[in-house]
Amino acid sequence: MSRKPSDSSQPPRVVISRRGAQRLREGHVWVYRSDIVADGGATPGALVEVVDERGKALGTALYSSASQIAIRLLSPKGVDDLDKVVRQRIQQAIAYREGLVHDTDAYRVVFSEADFLPGLIVDRYNDIVSFQVLTQGMDSEPARKALVSELSEQLHPAAIAERVDPKIRELEQLPARSSGLVHGDKSTTVFSMNGVQFHYDVMGGQKTGAFLDQRENYAAAAQYARGEGLDVFCYQGGFALHLAKSCAKVTGVDSSRPALEVADRNAELNGREIEWIEANAFDLLRDYAAAGQAYDSVILDPPAFAKSKRDLDTALRGYKELNLRALKMLRPGGVLVTCSCSYHVSQADFLQVIAEAARDVHRSLRVLEVRSQAQDHPILLNVPETAYLKCLIMYVSL
């Protein structure tokens, strides 16, 4: 007969307020610090049992002593073995993508809360897997061990690399750590999306390397683009290289020289001639629009302008200005692909901004497609924070 575990082996019990409990019952997975009634002595990153004020069990979570998001639900049930649950969730994440991800060997393998592994991002670039840890819970030794071992068993990569975001570690009060390989010794590779090839370097680039969330939008943009194309905020050439399939001439603009250097190597890898311009996009669009420059296809994929709700108005003005200038330059029959990756800007806000910009420059737009992030970045219906990318494809009719 198995013995009941002693009290000391039980996970700490965190008591949450009615409001916090309601949030979990509504399907969200976060509980804010202001809704913690008693932390049960939980240590940073601990696996904790979550109960309401009447002692009713609400599930198992990872606790953070630093973040305003004190609780991130791991399971609505009891979990006593973190190793087992991390392994299972990674297997489920891989299985989910098997039926969805096509025409690529680069995709997001684990998308944090949306894959029920809060605080863990895993991306695959052909034979290199890269991961990023965002919370105390995922930074714990058992979680790290389980994830590296499971990823290598399931995907057999040549290498696994950790990409550290020092700012996030500081906010989570985690000790500093450096990026680098944690398994294998390959640090560069070539991956492909929709038949376009890209260089990948473990230590280079932004985020975990490429903007994989745009993969399906690249293919959609290539379907409509034609004539002369302009990719604004082109980074390493994701849209520009896809545009080159259907446009006669393509220009990419970015303020980052290192990004453009990779973009140029990517163009060479694909045997494409693309013009790269290092410039501030706002200045360049203003000057080009004033000079009467015209294009048939324009992509706008700026960085997130609204990092918090407070920035919303400024962000909307930024989006309006960019879109207005792009619309001025688009020839009738042209295509605008315009994106926003600010979670705080809703799809309705974004559509309205584009509508206002069109009105101001007396252009008439038809909505060809209202798109979002690639399906390997799943959106959890009751966790709105998992939906962040908007991508509108517009036809300039007049």
Cβ closest to ligand SAH, residue 226 vs residue 286: 286
Give the count of beta carbons closer than 10 Å to the beta carbon of residue 150: 18
192 lies in the binding site for ligand SAH (CB under 6 A)? no
200 lies in the binding site for ligand SAH (CB under 6 A)? no
Q: Closest CB to ligand SAH belongs to which residue?
A: 238
* Distance separating alpha carbons of residues 214 and 234, to the nearest angstrom: 12
Count of residues touching ligand SAH (by CB under 6 A):
18
230 lies in the binding site for ligand SAH (CB under 6 A)? no
> Which tokens hold the place of 242?
């896809």
Cβ closest to ligand SAH, residue 70 vs residue 241: 241
Which amino acid type is present at position 190? V
User: 118 by DSSP, 3-state: which?
Assistant: coil
Phi first, then psi: give them for residue 35, nearest 5 degrees. Answer: -105, 10
Mark the segment that binds ligand SAH (CB under 6 A) among 175-183, 274-282, 352-360, 365-373: 274-282
Q: Pick from 10, 280, 352, 397: which binds ligand SAH (CB under 6 A)?
A: 280
Instruction: Clarify whether 341 is annotated catalytic.
Output: yes
Q: Pick from 247, 281, 324, 336: which binds ligand SAH (CB under 6 A)?
A: 281
**Phi-psi domain of 103 (left: phi exceeds 0; alpha: psi -120 through 50; beta: other):** left
Mark the segment that binds ligand SAH (CB under 6 A) among 73-81, 236-244, 269-277, 376-384: 236-244
Q: Pick from 63, 191, 211, 288: which binds ligand SAH (CB under 6 A)?
A: 211
Q: Pick from 88, 246, 256, 346: which binds ligand SAH (CB under 6 A)?
A: 256
> Which tokens hold the place of 386?
């998992």
DSSP code for 244? T
Cβ closest to ligand SAH, residue 224 vs residue 239: 239
User: 298 by DSSP, 3-state: which?
Assistant: strand
- Shortest CB 272 distance to ligand SAH, Å: 15
298 lies in the binding site for ligand SAH (CB under 6 A)? no
92 lies in the binding site for ligand SAH (CB under 6 A)? no
What mask, x for binding ligand SAH by CB under 6 A, covers residues 320 to 349?
Answer: ------------------------------
Q: Pick from 303, 332, 333, 384: which binds ligand SAH (CB under 6 A)?
A: 303
What percent of the residues of the chain are helix, what percent strand, and what percent coil, each to the nearest 5? 35, 30, 35
Closest to 48 (Cα-Cα) out of 172, 115, 136? 136
> Are 241 and 266 a contacting pair, CB within 8 Å?
yes
Which amino acid type is present at position 291? A
233 lies in the binding site for ligand SAH (CB under 6 A)? yes
Mark the segment that binds ligand SAH (CB under 6 A) among 83-91, 159-167, 295-303, 350-358: 295-303
Q: How far is CA 94 from CA 6, 75, 108, 114, in A?
A: 36, 18, 9, 13
136 lies in the binding site for ligand SAH (CB under 6 A)? no
- Spatial neighbors of 388 by CB under 8 A, at least 6 apart, are 304, 341, 342, 343, 373
Q: Pick from 259, 345, 357, 393: which binds ligand SAH (CB under 6 A)?
A: 259
216 lies in the binding site for ligand SAH (CB under 6 A)? no
> Are 122 and 86 a contacting pair, CB within 8 Å?
no
Strand order across the beta sheet in which 106-111 lies: 106-111, 120-125, 128-133, 159-162, 180-184
Active-site residue identified among 234, 247, 339, 341: 341
* Distance separating alpha carbons of residues 136 and 139, to the nearest angstrom: 5
Mark the segment that binds ligand SAH (CB under 6 A) among 88-96, 134-142, 173-181, 254-262: 254-262
Active-site residues, by number, are 341
Give the binding site for ligand SAH (CB under 6 A): 211, 214, 233-236, 238-239, 254-256, 259, 280-282, 301-303
